Structure 1
Amino acid sequence: MDFDEYRKRGKEMVDYIADYLETIRQRRVYPDVQPGYLRTLVPDHAPQESEPWERIMADMETLIMPGIAHWQSPHMHGYSAINSFPSLLGDMLANAINCLGFSWSTCPAATELEVVVTNWLGKMIGLPAQFLNTGADTKGGGVLQNTSSEATLVSLLSSRTEAIRRHRAISHELDEDEINKRLVAYCSDQAHSSVVKGCQICRIRLHVLESDNNLCLRSQQLNEVIAKDKKEGLIPFYLCATLGTTSTCSFDDLQELGPLCHKEGIWLHVDAAYAGTAFICPEFRSWLDGIHYVDSFVFLPCKIMMVNFYSCAMWVKDISVLQKTLKVEQSYSVDNKSGLEIEYMHWQISLSKRFQSLKLWFVIRNYGIDGLQKHIRKNVHLAERFEWLVRSDERFEVPVPRHLGMVVFRLRGHNTLTETFLKTLNSRGRTYCATSRFRGVSAVSKQQGAKRIMVWFCLWKDRVAGLYFFDENINSKHTWFLLASQHSREEDILEDWKEIREVAKLTLRELQGTKHDASQCHEPQIFMEQPKKKLTTAVKMGSH
């Protein structure tokens, strides 16, 4: 492929992508294929000679697209991975430049722009100045990791380095291995699984604490466990608090947990992967109260902010701890000696680094803070309206409070109802939801001694975003149904709600007979007098 053909094929590809996203509603949301389907359709060896581009693109539709889960569909409710046109264009350009920006000298603009963008983001969500890289006198700074799981691991490794350093200064007879055996980290049963995985990788003991009736971690319980661990000779060193949990969008109280961590010398890491983007709106920043106690903070722009995956923003108060932990000198790594340059290879697990900041720069500039705030507020408004619809239908209940764009609900009655509801919903092919594991939701009362399965519906940005099913007991199955398409319209919301009601009607008829027939339930119209604001106003895409 030469330059002329690249220009031709590149324009064709932009058209193909635009057509794909514009007509995505016409595609089955989740593929109807079985494992190994593709191996039976392609040769078992690579082609010896070049193939025409037209044949390759034809195979996209005949071979690849039939096995694609269409994550950008307004009816894809399994996971959140939101993109936008400015982000796609930024990634296209970054891929063309294709720099490995691990050092300032390998690509100065990549490092410089990452500093600028992380400072912009930090200011946009209201982080204190101590987290920003604003000059030679500051200790803090931001970095773009690949995922929040990597950010959690980086925070665990760095806090372990600091804990070992501190305790070796106190107890000279203890070596690093002995101290590491005594270290203990903490999180709530609502924390993301990456905390568990990170502790497994680091071979660190983890105590998972039960959350309260509001699905929050309380300082009193944490204090009691810390005291018990210290009596047993363990060394508390790390706490992961969550702002906007995966399963219920609950929030730990930093003002309550922070002083205890400060007193005990515990590194406080905050995972705000889902809800962090919402802090761009000042009215949601009350959940950040106590942020001055925090040592590291992370959120994912790819969740809500229309920046395609990978995209993970992390800030630390003292970057020297990261550098002490992750710096490895090699002859092939180009390290600058002036002391003024930032070397991001010492802030992350991998050596190499993609030009991630470019797509963030494109999105922030193209939408502006006003445009991003408009998207966030619009979808919180949509969530309020959807919650009203659910509460107006007596077949459903809302068992936990709504926060931001997430509404949790379930079919009333035995678990079998919601489990069957889920299976039917997936099999019909008009929507898709995914299964996962939920760890102990103590807030939801039991019904006749049974575990309860619930559903969560979350709305974000230009799209409607999500339904989740989860079971309240430890290690129980839950499924999430996340509406995350950038291009959702009012008709999509109505179609989704219609599908939910229809599947509920079929489920109740099948398992409970006609006494729960939908015709006997109040089925509200979406434009009834309450809520007063019209849904049409909320659903229109914001201009940018």
Structure 2
Amino acid sequence: MKKEDFRAYAHELVDWMADYLEEKENYPVTPNIQPKDIFNQIPSSAPEKGESFENIFRDFKEIILPGMTHWQHPSFFAYFPANNSEPSILAEMLMSTLGAQCMSWLTSPAATELEERVCDWLRDAKGIDSNWKGVIHDTASTATLSAILTAREKATQYNINENGFNGNEKFRVYSSAHVHSSIDKGIKIAGLGVNNLVRIPVDENFAMIPEELEKAIQRDLKDGFRPLCVVSALGTTSSTAVDPIGKISQISQKHGIWHHIDAAFAGTALLLPEFQHHIKGHELADSYVFNPHKWMFTNFDCTVFFLREPQYLVNTFSLTPEYLKTQLDAEVNNYRDWGIQLGRRFRALKLWFVIRSYGLEGLREKLRKHLQLARLAQSWIESESNLEILAPVNFNTICFRHVDSQHSEEELNRFNETWMARVNASGKVFFSHTKLDGKYVIRWVIGQTDVEEKHVSHAWGLLMEERRKLL
């Protein structure tokens, strides 16, 4: 592509992007397609000769766009959001243009130093201990795996890194049943064995019971196991339950166990001073992760991973062949040594753009608006007969279902599953579900960047309409 053509097409794309952001709520949230509908519209072999950009962009609009789930739609209420914003999108454009590989200070000095600074900004804004240091990863899954591997190496004095497993290890990792599935995956990848993940019972609010954690550790010590790590949740995936961080930290310190705090979604709420009590006692923990790409209006992917003593992380992952050594290594952060990946994107740029564009005041204002909308939706559900909320609404996720005395639990599960499927089939909204104590519940997450009361009200109307039809 010629440079003058690039300029013209770039302007065309930016115009389309701006139009999309203005018109995104006019698209169906989810596409009305069947498996292979898109696949079958794409030629079975790659083109031998280059094609015009006009044709490529036309196919994007005619083939790809109709098959997209629109995560930025204001009526996207499923899973947790993967938000973006205008300043974040602009930063992504600059990141792509620079094409920097930010593995070390020497390869991208500004990227390295900006990453350190914005991590410090977020640490201080969220009330995290000022001695902790942060690094940007791609996802919380990667950061959690890094925490588990670091716990393993710290406990074995880096022996497994050097010599591998000897077959006599009997490590244990602890979490509640409600933590993210990435914990299971991380334990598998770390070679610990998923059967060595001990699920700790939860209370009526789906939060880990610390006394049960203590019992499990004592039982494992008696049986010859080696407790390695506990993963607590500041906002579980199913219901945003909050584990007692302080008590778990005390137990972990008592037994010399690594304590990793998973705050992937709800951690953004700590930007609000009124929510910082949730992290009380974290200063005795070892690591903490949250995703600005979920609820802080920063394009996927962007995860910030904080550590009390980052030298253990660096010692776990540092590997510097001769061709990567520089004379400045002792004076700077080479973030390639702070995680799994050698190659690193310039993710700090979009965080910088977002924080500076909104300011902490603007971010807090938007978060409080989402929380207010969640409280409004909660009030509607609570006022409706035969609806129940099955978990505390700690943030902006509501877990609710239809319930009555005429049907068994199995029948109620089928009813609620059908209810959600029929609402989603409209393409006008998108909800997801979970099961709490075996009960099928609809999860209503109100946190999309541009969601307004009208979108929440419209979703409520659709829910009530389909429920009436089913009844």
Residues 116-265 of structure 1 mapped to structure 2, 5 A cutoff? 116-131=117-132, 141-165=133-157, 177-178=165-166, 181-204=169-192, 205-265=196-256
Q: Say which SS state the counterpart of residue 73 (structure 1) adopts.
A: coil
Q: Are 1:420 and 2:408 matched, yes or no?
A: no
Alignment-derived partner of residue 12 in structure 1: 12
> TM-score, length-normalised on structure 1?
0.81
Alignment-derived partner of residue 429 in structure 1: 427
Alignment-derived partner of residue 31 in structure 1: 31
Q: Is the 8 A contact 1:144 1:311 kept in 2?
A: yes
Alignment-derived partner of residue 442 in structure 2: 455
**Partner Cα separation in structure 1 for residue 135 and residue 168 of structure 2:** 27
Alignment-derived partner of residue 524 in structure 1: none
Alignment-derived partner of residue 94 in structure 2: 93
Per-residue deviation at 1:247? 0.8
Alignment-derived partner of residue 409 in structure 2: none
Q: Are 1:398 and 2:389 matched, yes or no?
A: yes
**Partner Cα separation in structure 2 for residue 103 and residue 336 of structure 1:** 12
Q: Is the 8 A contact 1:255 1:290 kept in 2?
A: yes
**Cα–Cα, structure 1 residues 369 and 180, in superposed 2: closer, same or farther, change >3 Å?**
farther
Q: Is the 8 A contact 2:431 2:444 kept in 1?
A: no
1:86-143 residue CA offsets vs partner (Å, 9 max, x unmatched): 0000111011111111011011011011001101111110111110xxxxxxxxx210
Alignment-derived partner of residue 446 in structure 1: none
**Partner Cα separation in structure 2 for residue 184 and residue 265 of structure 1:** 13
Per-residue deviation at 1:320? 1.3
> TM-score, length-normalised on structure 2?
0.93
Task: Please point out which of 448, 462, 470 is paired with 1:499.
Answer: 462
- Equivalences, count: 458
Q: Are 1:347 and 2:334 matched, yes or no?
A: no
Q: Is the 8 A contact 2:136 2:303 kept in 1?
A: yes
Per-residue deviation at 1:237? 1.5
Per-residue deviation at 1:416? 2.3
Higher relative contact order (CA 8 A, sep 6+): 2
Per-residue deviation at 1:167? 10
> Which stretches of structure 1, 4 residues or more, deviate above 6 A after TM superposition?
none
**Partner Cα separation in structure 1 for residue 340 and residue 391 of structure 2:** 38
Alignment-derived partner of residue 113 in structure 1: 114
Q: Sequence identity, in percent? A: 33
**Cα–Cα, structure 1 residues 408 and 124, in superposed 2: closer, same or farther, change >3 Å?**
same
Q: Is the 8 A contact 1:254 1:293 kept in 2?
A: no
**Partner Cα separation in structure 1 for residue 268 and residue 359 of structure 2:** 13
Q: Say which SS state the counterpart of residue 269 (structure 1) adopts.
A: strand
1:444-485 residue CA offsets vs partner (Å, 9 max, x unmatched): xxxxxxx4222232223xxxxxxxxxxxxxxxxxxxxxxx2x
1:308-333 residue CA offsets vs partner (Å, 9 max, x unmatched): 10010001111111121111222443
Q: Say which SS state the counterpart of residue 324 (structure 2) adopts.
A: coil
Alignment-derived partner of residue 2 in structure 1: 2
**Partner Cα separation in structure 2 for residue 166 and residue 16 of structure 1:** 52
Q: Is the 8 A contact 1:219 1:257 kept in 2?
A: yes
Q: Unaligned 5+ residue runs, structure 2?
A: 405-411
Q: Is the 8 A contact 1:103 1:335 kept in 2?
A: no
Aligned Cα RMSD in Å? 1.8
Q: Is the 8 A contact 1:164 1:179 kept in 2?
A: no
Q: Is the 8 A contact 1:29 1:76 kept in 2?
A: yes
**Cα–Cα, structure 1 residues 412 and 338, in superposed 2: closer, same or farther, change >3 Å?**
closer
Q: Aligned AA for 2:441?
A: M
Q: Say which SS state the counterpart of residue 349 (structure 1) adopts.
A: coil
**Cα–Cα, structure 1 residues 352 and 288, in superposed 2: closer, same or farther, change >3 Å?**
same
1:32-82 residue CA offsets vs partner (Å, 9 max, x unmatched): 222222332232222233322222111112111111111111222333110
Q: Is the 8 A contact 2:78 2:443 kept in 1?
A: no
Alignment-derived partner of residue 532 in structure 1: none
**Partner Cα separation in structure 2 for residue 125 and residue 38 of structure 1:** 43
**Cα–Cα, structure 1 residues 406 and 278, in superposed 2: closer, same or farther, change >3 Å?**
same
Q: Unaligned 5+ residue runs, structure 1?
A: 132-140, 169-174, 443-450, 461-483, 509-544
Task: Please point out which of 280, 296, 300 is paired with 1:289.
Answer: 280
Q: Is the 8 A contact 1:218 1:256 kept in 2?
A: no
Per-residue deviation at 1:403? 0.8
Per-residue deviation at 1:207? 0.8
Alignment-derived partner of residue 407 in structure 2: none
Q: Is the 8 A contact 1:391 1:397 kept in 2?
A: yes
**Partner Cα separation in structure 1 for residue 236 and residue 66 of structure 2:** 33
Q: Say which SS state the counterpart of residue 43 (structure 1) adopts.
A: coil
Q: Say which SS state the counterpart of residue 270 (structure 1) adopts.
A: strand
